[in-house]
Amino acid sequence: MTFPDRKYDDVATFSDDYFARLGAAASSVDRARLAEAAGILADAYERGATLYVCGNGGSAAIADSYVCDHTKLIQTDTTLVPKVVSLSANTPMMTAIANDLSYDEVFVYQLRTQAALGDVLMTISASGDSKNVVRAATWARDNKLDVVAFTGFSGGRMAELASVHVHVEADNYGVIEDTHQSLMHILAQYIRQTRMSAGLIAGRKF
C-alpha cells in the first residue's frame, strides 16, 4: 500500500500519517549497514581520500548538503579534514555533458575525470535506478572504488552495485528523501563526535 492512498481533507491528519511513515522509514534502516557506511567514510577521511556524492532532484540537494556537513561540520573540533565533492553541483559542467553527450553521463564523466584509486562514491537515489547514478556506480565498482548507496522503494540496480546498500523501506519520495537527509546528518555528526572528548561534546552545538 502506498502513501497517500486516499484523499485527505485536513493537513493535520495528513501530517500525522506522514510523520508516522517517516518514523517507520527511519526504523527500517539496517543499523549494521549504516555502521559499515560510517566506517568507509571515516576511513576515507582519515586517508585523505575524496568522497564523491551524486543524485538527481531532491537527492542532488542532499548531495550538495553532504559537502557542507561532511567538510565543514566534521572538521570542527577534530583533526579530520574531509574532502567531499558533489557531482551534482557544477551546473556548467553538467549541462555541457548533458547537451554534448547525454544526461546519463553527467556523473560518470566527472568521476572518470577526477577520481583516484581509494576514493569513495556515495549515490543518493530513491528509486536506486537512475541511469546516471547507475553508470557512475558501475564505473566506480569496475575501478575498485567503494560505493555507498542510499535508496528507497525496491532499491533498484543500486542494491546490487553498492559495496554498502543503505535502504529505506518506504514508498513515498518525500519520506525517503527526508530519511536520506537525516542519514547524512547522522553520519556527519557521528563521525565528528567520535573524534571529540566527552567534555567537549557536551559543550558544543551539533
> Each residue of 144-197: pLDDT tens digit?
999 999 999 999 999 999 999 999 999 999 999 999 999 999 999 999 999 999
The pLDDT of residue 163 is 97
CATH level 3 topology of 31-196: Rossmann fold (3.40.50)
pTM of the predicted protein model: 0.95
Share of the chain above pLDDT 90, in %: 99
pLDDT band at 93 (very low <50, low <70, confident <90, very high): very high
C-alpha cell at 201: 561534546
From the list 127, 153, 126, 148, the residue with the least C-alpha distance to 137 is 148
Cα(25)–Cα(170) distance, rounded to whole angstroms? 6
The pLDDT of residue 1 is 64
14, HSE (Cβ side, Cα atoms, 13 Å):
9
pLDDT band at 14 (very low <50, low <70, confident <90, very high): very high
C-alpha cell at 8: 485527505
